[in-house]
Structure 1
Amino acid sequence: MSSFPPGWATDLAILELSGSVFEQHADHLVVRSPHNPGFHWGNCVFVTDPDAVDDADRWVAAFTSAFPAAGWVAIGLTRMPDAVDAWTSHGLDLERDDVLTTTALPRQTPCPEGYSVRPLAEPDWEASVARAVAENTRTREHDAEGFARFAQRRTESRRALVERGHAQWFGAFDGDGTLVADLGIVLCVRTARYQDVGTDSAHRGRGLATHLLGVAAQWAAGRGCTQWVIVTEETNAAGRVYRGVGFAPDSSSISAYRHPTH
């Protein structure tokens, strides 16, 4: 995976740690996640040849051949295509995520008053699933029933990573002991990759995510990591929070995606 930029490289490393299987071809990679068949970016195609990314017809056909029952299309690209129309004509959205990295330990900030922070314990995992489902209900980004299944299976994979020592998930809890923010961090050899930084809307703007970033960074540093990677949507204001603790822009992750038909 060393030929990929750090965003895709750590995505693939986490998939591999989670039990996904790869089919390596000369200019592309097919990723399958039998343990979570509804995970769109765990059942996808990555185009590894930058010179081939403009051939949208070929890659949509390759995805359809690999995943004939999928209602979605998910294709990772190594650069933004020149021929954008070739992709959008298939009903796909071309999306750019910002990849931020640092080789200096991200800054640790104090825990906001009235909250406590610790690794997720047994009952907290279900609370984390409930938070994700509630956010999807709010945004209506994904089909409710399918997303609930996906979120449950994703959490099972995450718990397995934690149990095997590959990752840790940290949560922030209010004075009543309710989980109101969480994130994960996964060890990809000496690189640590953050996962799903999220804070409930009623608790945003208080520094919880900033504090959690530092806590997770310290945990990874204690296990030999010397680089930290975080990926965010290009339009996400959270990028300012990440820059504030020491992250800097590194590269972009480009994807071609079509939502499933319901």
Structure 2
Amino acid sequence: MLSALAAGPRTDLEILLLQGSRIEVGADHLVVRSPHNPDFHWGNYVHVTTGDPDDAGRWLEVFARAFPQAGHVALGLPRLPHPAAYAVYGLEVGTDAVLTTTELPEQRPLAEGYAVRALLPDDWAQVRRAAADENARTGDYDPREHDAFTVAQIAARRRLAAAGSAAFFGAFTDDGLLAADLGIVALGRRARYQSVGTVAEHRRRGLAGHLLGVAARWAAERGAREWVIVTESTNDAGRLYRSVGFRDDVQVVAAYRKPDRET
């Protein structure tokens, strides 16, 4: 079912399955459902496989039938559609860069004044606050909906870590404040990074570069021989990932419309 997909969407879906999501297979698309996290828009979406990505009207109908109560619309597409195909429906089309490497990523030195370790149970409250602060800074999502998503996502990630399928690491200041964190999920010979983030006042100190290496070595010890990371095509983080050994693999495409906050 997933073997024909590129590394980015394939690992996305493999992780969702580990977390308890369900995938319904259609002739030319997949319907992905995450009942444990209904506020996770990219855990509740339609992934077009061999269907025509220019047929926006059809895919909106497929999504509406699959998720009749959803405020959002989220569609994974196999290629870039015609520029106007989704704009007329109020959807934005964006791309992510999938980067991979079969060489162990470089581990940058850790800056002075920080300590790195796997997240402990009490640390997740700081992860939750950091996510809320970043959402407040960007204004991307309704705060209550975003916090509900974060709480459910943290619960799913803690279950993966407890099962030994994933690890989540943080860089902490001397007084125990979370400065940066990320996760990685072991998927056999492939490992996929999760949620690389640095608190604003601690950026440009090499923390993410160090954590990338720490996580890579954790996965290597569990059999990983390929590492996958995904970032928005316009995100400056791509330069960091390439600098530690990642190379561009494919571009993934999505069409998305946020919920209307007034409804």
Contact 1:115 1:174 in 2 (8 A): yes
1:230 partner SS = strand
Partner of 1:64: 64
In structure 1, distance between residues paired with 2:255 and 2:92: 6
SS at 1:180 equivalent? strand
Shift of 1:109: 1.8
Give ranges in structure 1 of 5+ residues lacking alignment: none
Cross-structure match for 2:88 = 89
**Map of 1:46 onto structure 2:** 47
Partner residue, 2:75: 75
Q: Give deviations 1:138-196, integer Å, cap 9, x for gaps.
A: 11100011001110000000000001111000000011111110000011221110011
**SS at structure 1 position matched to 2:144:** helix
Q: Which amino acid aligns with 1:63?
A: F
Counterpart of 1:192?
191
The match for 1:2 is 3
The Cα RMSD (Å) is 0.7
How many residues align? The count is: 260
| Corresponding residue SS for 2:106 | coil
Match of 1:239 in 2: 238
> Does residue 20 of the first structure (1) align with residue 18 of the second (2)?
no
Give 1:222's aligned residue: 221
Give the drift of 1:260.
0.5
- Please give the alpha-carbon distance, in whole angstroms, between the structure 1 residues aligned to 2:111 and 2:47: 41
Could you tell me how far apart the structure 1 residues matched to 2:16 and 2:54 are?
26
For 1:68, the aligned partner's letter is P
In the alignment, the residues of structure 2 paired with residue 154 and residue 112 of structure 1 have an alpha-carbon distance, to the nearest angstrom, of 29
Give distance in 1, aligned partners of 2:86 and 2:219.
Answer: 39
Counterpart of 1:105 in structure 2 is: 104
* Structure 2 residue identity aligned to 1:93: E
The amino acid that maps onto 1:165 is G
Q: Distance in 1 between matches of 2:240 and 2:203?
A: 12
**Secondary structure of 2:231's partner?**
strand
1:19-57 CA-partner distances (Å, limit 9, x unpaired): 0001101100000001001110000000010x5111110
**One-letter amino acid of the structure 1 residue matched with residue 78 of structure 2:** T
CA distance, structure 2, for counterparts of residue 70 and residue 189 of structure 1: 34
Deviation of the 1:84 alpha carbon = 2.3
Counterpart residue number, 2:256: 257
In 2, Cα distance between the equivalents of 1:109 and 1:47?
A: 38
Partner of residue 208, structure 2: 209
* TM-score, normalised by the number of residues in structure 1: 0.98
Cα deviation, 1:90-144, whole Å, max 9, x if unaligned, reads 1000000011000000011221111000000010011101100111011110001
Report if aligned partners of 1:20, 1:33 keep a CA contact under 8 Å in 2: yes
CA–CA distance in 2 between the matches of 1:189 and 1:65? 35
Whole-Å Cα distance in 2 between the matches of residues 195 and 256 of structure 1? 21
Matched, 1:130 2:129: yes
TM-score by length of 2: 0.98
Aligned AA (2:106): R
Aligned-partner Cα distance in 2 for 1:259–1:94:
12
Amino acid of the residue matched to residue 187 of structure 2? C
What stretches of structure 1 move > 3 A for 4+ residues in a row? none
Deviations, residues 175-221 of structure 1 (Å, cap 9, x unaligned): 11111100000112211100110001111111000000000000000
CA–CA distance in 2 between the matches of 1:11 and 1:89?
28
